[in-house]
Every structure is written in structure tokens, then in C-alpha cells.
Structure 1
Amino acid sequence: MKNIKIKYLLSIVSMALLVLGVFSSCSDDSSDSGSGTLTITSVAKAEEGDLVPVTQGDPKNYYIIRGSGFTTVEKIYFNDFDTYFNPVLVTDTEIFVLIDEKTPYADASNKLKVVTKLGTIVYDFVISPPSPTFGSFNPINATEGDVITIYGNYFLDPIVKVGTETVPVISSTLTEIKVKLPAGSDKKYISVTNISGTATSAYAVGTAIYDDVAYYGFTFPAWNNHTYESAGSEQGLIHIKKKMEAWGNIQGDWSWYDQIADYSGIRVAIRADNPGALKFCFNGNWDDKTSPLLTIGTTWTTFVIPWSALGNADHVQNITFQNMSKNAAGDGVENTFYIDNIGFVLK
């Protein structure tokens, strides 16, 4: 028997059982030495339906290698990574194998190698990286001709788009990409694609109020006694740190910005040393009944505050945060807060 055709597979378990059964039925048809000809004709993913030959494979998935001369197989390598296989799931013409999740995919040989007592055969086969992850990009408020840095992971041979326009990659590693923004980038999202999938930025170009630096005059004056930290930012490279006494605050400078017709509200990322609460004081409104109260945890959380929660604001004049953390008795307590990625949310 030279081929295995699998239809209507219900699960990978049933696939393995089926392969075991078919291979057992073939055992009387072939000798220990096999056909004598070592060749790989195709590789197919083990999934429901007909086996369709593929040229790339995903780690943690099962594949069937087809060819001949496999009876005496000793080693299987994907990108020179020694891959475990079960000898029970090998016949002269098929090998059922799982691509290990540790298989390298970057700067690799892109080869499948099967070693048998008859010899070794090498076959062109690409190991796909995971789909890219998009962490952040900086600066958000870059303009035409500015170079931005995209942070994330699995950026193998990346294709970058700003909106629908593909832009040349200046440089890239697996975790960083540099590109130059084209004309018309404002309020466009950025996407990164590799052979496995696409990831898109959570925020659009030009939507920052604070992104490593403050825009439109909405700074936090030095008399707040806050600091800037460069490790572990939610967006970009720098975030704000402020130790606030009970009912203390960090007050923003006063300014005026009313070009907000394209936006539905404001976003901000916050975490704290201890679980607590911050009041989002907008445009000088310190009224407890109307100012949004944000419940803060110890990991970054991005809050989206719609204009409707801010009195249907038609402009931004001031942003201030007040510590509302309390102990079990209801008394105000000191807490340290980290604030990042203040910006607008597109409609």
C-alpha cells in the first residue's frame, strides 16, 4: 500500500488510531528493508479531509511525510532540530510525526531531513513562526517621513501596512521593526504580517495625548514630584510614576484642544503597586458624583472613557488623577500609580 487517504477525521486521536490500524494492515506487505528507494514525495498536515501537500508546517501540529524507504528511519530533523517520532507510526511509505514546538524557525535551513539505514534525504520545508504579536509602536504621533519603531514578537520577514498601504521595512528583528510613515498616515492603524498571520496595532497613528512625551500642552508639571520610568511601559518606552498619599493626586497642565470630532473618548493605561482606585478628573471637574472612578490593579489595564461619561465634552482642557484607594475600614491610603498611553479613541 503506497498512500493513506483520510476523510472525515473527528479528532487527532482518531487520526492516530486510524494510522496505527492502517500501518498494522500494511506490515505484511513490506519487508524490513522496505522498497530500497529513499524518497520524499510530499508532506501533508494530518487533518480532516484529503491529505493536501504543503510546503510549510506549524509547530505543535501533526504531519504525514510520504515517500518510500522509510522502514529503517533513525532520525527526523526539521530545521536541523532532532524531532521525536514513534517508530510504530512509520511504514515504508509514510511517517506520522509531530513538529516540536521548540523547532527553530528564524535563520534556519528550511529543510526536512530523514535519516535511515539506507541513507539520508533532504526536502525543502519551512517551519512557520507563530502569528505576530503587536505590542506597541512609538511615537504614536509621528507624521509623514518620521521613522517609528514597532514592538512585538515573531516578526519574521514582516510585511508592514499603514492602513491599506504597504510600507518598506527599514530594519527588523524578531521583536522590533522600523518603518518610515508615508503621507496620509494620520488616524490609520498599523499591521504586521508574517507567513502565519497578521497583527494590528490597538491604537491609530496620531491619537496620543501622552506617549513618552506630552502633546497639545497636556503635561504634568514637575511640582507634582512624579518620575519617569523606562522599564515595563505599556506603550512606547517611558511611563509616569507617582507615589500619592491618601487623596493625593497628579495634576495636569491646563491647555485647550477641541479637534476631537473623530474620537469617541479617551484611553489611559494604569497599574499600581497595590490594588486601589483613581478618580479621572476631566477639565477641572472634581465632583465625586460625575468624575469616573477607575479600579486599578497591579498589572496594566487600559481604560476607555467615552465622552458621555465626561459630560459629553467638546474639548480637552485638563486631565488630573486623584488617589481614591482605601483600606478595609474605608480610610484613604497611600499608593503608587503608573500611568501610560493617554490618548484618544477613534470612533
Structure 2
Amino acid sequence: MKNIKIVSLTACLAWMLSLMLFSSCSNDDANAENSGGGPVIESVMPSGYNVDGSMKPLTPVTLVDPKNYYVIHGKGLLTTQKVYFNDFDTYFRPTFVTDTDIIILVDENTPFADASNQLKVVTANGTAIFDLTVAPPVPTFSGFNLINAVEGDEVTIKGKYFLDPVVTLAKTATEPEVPITIVSSSLEQIVVKIPANANHRNLAVTNISGTAVSKEAIGTALYDDKLYGMQWGGPWSGKGVNFDFDGDSYQGEKSWQWVFGGWDGGNWGFDVDMTPYKAMRIAVKGTKNGQVNFSVNGGSNYVIPVTTTWVYIEIPLSALGNPASVTMLTFQESNNDGGNTVLFDDIGFVLK
């Protein structure tokens, strides 16, 4: 779904002139017969310009996108007083109304779920009703949990605009999309059951307006509500680490809270083959602004900026020494101002 350019008053007037000419050629007799009668809606058509600058064809539709212009075409519309999409009172310019046509912008706040699926035009001579569906925005995908799910696990997807969703393992260059069973869904949450052979596949959610794909692929987490695959390690000070902090999270339900003293840090041992990956990922948030030094296998530091809001970062392996495997991760608070409390979440890997 693509929004059209915001059009100028001159462009709108040009549409009106073209519509008036269209109407005068095709509806003179009908208008004469309808004079003084109740309003009738015959069709709804896109109006305005495509992104490439071409004018949209006046082709009847039964599905409209918010934030786009449309022509309501019919009879007896000149005395229009109100226009409702799904019972939402929608502003229109009286100067953009003729007896046969109304040019109108569908408001972005128009409801799309549990709605009447009707367009209503109220005139001085009555009300016209037309069956019409308002499309939801394209879905947004804020995350899913648990990322390291296996066949048969139930996973919760969070985001927005999940109206009548279809969930799949996203199509790749070598693999087709695979339907996934939905256990339950609402507009902002879907619970699905993970199928076989889902490792290293992204999840996709589709509604009638488009598709959103997860940033994370299944099975690529080092931390997602818990730390995976740690073989040894801990903070140098022997304290300050909480893997089950449930006061805030970037995705899922929990985050890794680390109460750092000044220049405190820690090492954590793993054994991960990096052949499938091109980068590491991490989400970070602090009590105050600062930074954390991060390194792989004792190599050079990569400075992770810390702010008081969640920031998601993908770190190319080239910036971490191009490790063939991850055997040790090191974190060190480096504010040089006495320490910081830092939350880490969604630590893992990005596929090639």
C-alpha cells in the first residue's frame, strides 16, 4: 500500500474540473431525473497521483486506504452535510462537492476493525449508504518470543494492525514461505505454533494491506528472556548481574540488567560457529547516557553507545575481527563517571 503525494489546491481543482466534465457527459439525463431526490452512491474511485507522478485511473474500488484521496460518485450529492467511513465523521471540502461527485481524503484515524464496512453520505435530501472496506495500515512487527523456539513451541508475536492476519515462515531466496498455525490473535498480539524446519527462518505477518517481517530469525538468540549456551563466566566484581529483570524489556518479557560499578565488566564463554552469520545484534538502554566496551574473543573494543531509551544495534562481524566462532564475549562499562545501570536484550546474530 502506497500513500499518494499531498496534492495542492490547484491539483484538486483540476480533478474537480475533470470530474465535472466526466459527469456532464455521462450523467446529464440521470441528474435531471434525480433533481430533488435522495442521494445515491454509485461507485468510489481513487483520485490523485501515483508516486511516479502519473494520475490514478478512475477505477471503482471496494477497499480504500487511509490517507489517500477518493472520488465518491453518484447522484444528488450537492447538498452533502456529512460523510462517514465506518461511522467515522470525515472532513470534506464543500468546494470539492458537485451533484455527482465528492473528492475526499480518508482520515488516517478511521477505524478498520469491528467496523460497519460502510460509507455514508448524509445530504439535505436523505442518506446514501455504500458497502466499503477501510484497509488497516501495513502490519508492524515489534518482536516475538521466544526467539529460540523449536517445533511445537507456542510463540507470541507482538506488533500492530494484525487484522485477520496470516502468519508464515518468510520466503527466502532458496525456500518458499510456509504457513504457520495461529493459536489466537488480536490486533496487537498473535500466538502461533512453530512448525518443523523453522530454524534460521524469519516470521512474517500479512494483512490485506501488506506484510511485516521480523528482524530476528528463529534460533539466533544468545539472550531472549534468558541467556543461551553460556559455558562459563560472570562479572569481574562478582555481583550486579540479573538475567531475569522484569521491569523493562526491548522484546519479550525480561532483560539482562547489569548494575555496573565504574569500569566494571565481565567475560562470558560460549561456543558458537559464526559461518551462517554476518553480524551480531543487541538492544541497550541505560539509567543514564554512557557507553559500554564490547569485544569478541578478547579482540578490539567496539564501543556501544548507551542512552536512556532502547537502541537496537547490528554490529558487522568485520567490526569485531571477523571471528570464525564466538568463544568469549566481554562487556565493560566505560563512562568514566562512576558506573551505570544498563539493560541488555535481544542479543544474538544476524544471518547472511
Same-fold call, TM cutoff 0.5: yes
**Partner-residue secondary structure (3-state), 1:85:** coil
**Which residue matches 1:245?**
261
Write out aligned runs for 1:136-175 (5 A). Answer: 136-163=143-170, 164-175=177-188
Aligned equivalent of 1:315: 325
CA–CA separation in structure 2 for the residues paired with 1:226 and 1:167:
37
SS in 1 for 2:319: helix
Using the size of structure 1 for normalisation, the TM-score is: 0.85
Structure 1: how far apart are the matches of 2:117 and 2:143? Answer: 30
Paired residues of 2:296 and 2:323 also in contact (CA < 8 A): no
Alignment of 1:69-80 (within 5 A): 69-80=76-87
User: In the superposition, relative to structure 1, how do residues 134 and 269 fare at CA in structure 2: closer, same or farther (>3 Å)?
Assistant: same
Name the structure 2 match of 1:42. Answer: 43
Task: Tell me if structure 1 keeps the 8 A contact 2:38–2:126.
Answer: no
* 2:297 counterpart of 1:297: no
**Partners of 2:232 and 2:47 in 1: CA distance:** 57
Rounded to whole Å, the distance in 1 between the matches of 2:143 and 2:321 is 30
Deviates more, 1:215-224 or 1:300-309: 215-224
Q: Which runs of 5+ in 2 are unaligned?
A: 49-54, 171-176
Structure-1 separation of matches of 2:138 and 2:232: 37
In the alignment, what sits opposite 1:225? Answer: 240
Q: Is the 8 A contact 1:131 1:198 kept in 2?
A: yes
Residue 260 of structure 2 aligns with an amino acid whose one-letter code is M
Give the Cα separation in 2 of the matches to 1:105 and 1:143. Answer: 34
Q: 1:324 matched to which residue of 2?
A: 334
| Structure with the higher strand share, 1 or 2 | 2
1:120 to 120, 127, 134: 127
Gaps of 5+ in 1: 1-8, 327-331
Q: TM-score if structure 2 supplies the norm length?
A: 0.84
Q: Does residue 338 in structure 1 map to residue 352 in structure 2?
A: no
CA RMSD of aligned residues (A): 2.7
Q: Deviations over 1:66-88 (max 9, x none)?
A: 01121222221110112222222
Do the aligned partners of residues 14 and 273 (structure 1) sit closer, same or farther apart at CA in structure 2, a change above 3 Å counting?
Answer: same
Tell me, in whole angstroms, the C-alpha distance in 2 between the residues paired with 1:144 and 1:170: 14
- Secondary structure (helix, strand or coil) at the match of 1:75 reads strand
Secondary structure class of the residue paired with 2:275:
coil
Counterpart of 1:65 (choices 64, 72, 75) is 72
**2:174 corresponds to:** none
Q: CA deviation at 1:298?
A: 2.5
Does the Cα contact within 8 Å between 1:15 and 1:46 map onto a contact in 2? no
Q: Secondary structure at the match of 1:322?
A: strand
Distance 1:83 1:306, change over 3 A: closer
Cα distance in 1 between the residues matched to 2:293 and 2:7? 51
User: 105, 111, 118: which one pairs with 2:118?
Assistant: 111
1:177-199 Cα offsets, whole Å, 9 max, x none, are 11111111100011111111111
Matched residues in 2 for 1:243 and 1:201: separation?
30
Match of 2:216, SS state, is: coil
Q: Partners in 1 of 2:143 and 2:231 — Cα distance?
A: 21
Correspondence for 1:203 among 216, 230, 235 = 216
Q: Is the 8 A contact 1:35 1:92 kept in 2?
A: no
- 1:232-260 CA-to-partner distances (Å, cap 9, x unmatched) read 421211112222121012x2543x42433
User: Matches of 1:56 and 1:315 in 2, distance apart?
Assistant: 51
The alignment of Structure 1 onto Structure 2 pairs a total of residues equal to 327
